[in-house]
Amino acid sequence: MTAPRLPLADATEAADLAAFLERLLRFDRAAAVRLQAVRAEQGPVLAVFGRLPLGSSGVLAVRSARLLGEDVAEADLTVSAGQLLESIDESAAVLGLPTPVTGPAWAGLLPPRSRWERIDATTAPAVMPELMSAVREFKQRTAEIPEHHRTRAALDALADEIWSRPLGAVPELPLRVAHAAYVIGFLTPDATLTAHRSGSWLRLSAPAGSVALRTAAPGSGLGLSPLR
């Protein structure tokens, strides 16, 4: 049986979605993503949700892609990120929908679609110096830990200390949200960023996508080690 296929708006949408999935798979080769194809005011959209590895709970990265045509059926399923990547035909601007998988726990609790309150705005250039300073601090302090004490628990504790600090440009957000946006490729050099809140959720949005953090989730303080 041929897998259902979704037409993307153009080849650029296909390439950007593929790049997003490749970055997710750098963290977890067995990553799953939740897909939601919906009809929005501006036309049909596919939203892809992936979890960055922050332990039992953490930051979700969200990448949307415009779909082609007004008769696209709505869909909501969890699939293998690797299989979804393999299904993308960039030249034809289409993607196949792999067989659904049993979703991880995070896939059952997504950020709300609406009722977001805008709390602040900034730019990537205003965030990057502080972010890069924190990355350097993490690397330096990691190197100072004796090798026999450099356990995952020790690194997570260090990361938690650093990434839980308030983001200077937007104090309502923890630094980890900007770090997550950076490692997933959303902090492009000229990006305008907006911060939002909805209940226990915080969100940092950029033109390329957004990252969301559920502040009330157990274990949400676990750390994300920066890319080396």
Cα(78)–Cα(75) distance, integer angstroms: 10
Q: Any idea what DSSP says for residue 108?
A: G
Cα(42)–Cα(66) distance, integer angstroms: 9
Query: What is the percentage of the chain residues whose pLDDT exceeds 90?
Result: 71
pTM above threshold 0.85: yes
Q: Which two tokens stand for residue 168?
A: 């200077």
Q: Any idea what DSSP says for residue 159?
A: H
Structure-model confidence comparison of residues 69 and 203, the more confident one: 203
What is the tens place of the pLDDT at every residue in 132-171? 999 999 999 999 999 999 998 898 889 888 999 999 999 9
* Region 210-225 average pLDDT: 63
Using alpha carbons, list the distances in angstroms from residue 24 to 18, 21, 92, 155, 164.
Answer: 10, 5, 23, 21, 22
The backbone region for 86, taken as left when phi is positive above 0, alpha when psi lies in -120 to 50, beta otherwise, is alpha
Cα(204)–Cα(83) distance, integer angstroms: 28
Question: Helix (H, G, I), strand (E, B), or coil: what is residue 183?
Answer: helix
Cα(145)–Cα(155) distance, integer angstroms: 9
